[in-house]
Amino acid sequence: MAALTTSAILSLRVLILTSLLMAPIGEVAYTKAAGFGIGKNGAGLVLFVTLQRQAMS
């Protein structure tokens, strides 16, 4: 019985760690597929150009 409990706790920890690491990657993939995000018009365009200029300097 102790081995089963230890195994279940270990499996739960692995599941939690995996979900914490994979959630941001899944969100980025979903955002790219759904077409959400900052559009490149208006304030989004200004932000994009500003960030690009800062990256080049």
Could you report the per-residue pLDDT of 6-28, keeping only the tens digit for each? 999 999 999 999 999 999 898 88
Indicate whether 39 pLDDT > 80: no
The whole-angstrom separation of Cα 29 and Cα 21 is 14
Query: Above pLDDT 90, what percent of the chain?
Result: 37
pTM of the predicted structure, to 2 decimals? 0.48
- The tally of CA atoms less than 13 A away on the side-chain side of residue 4 is 1
% helix, strand, coil for the chain, step of 5 = 80, 0, 20
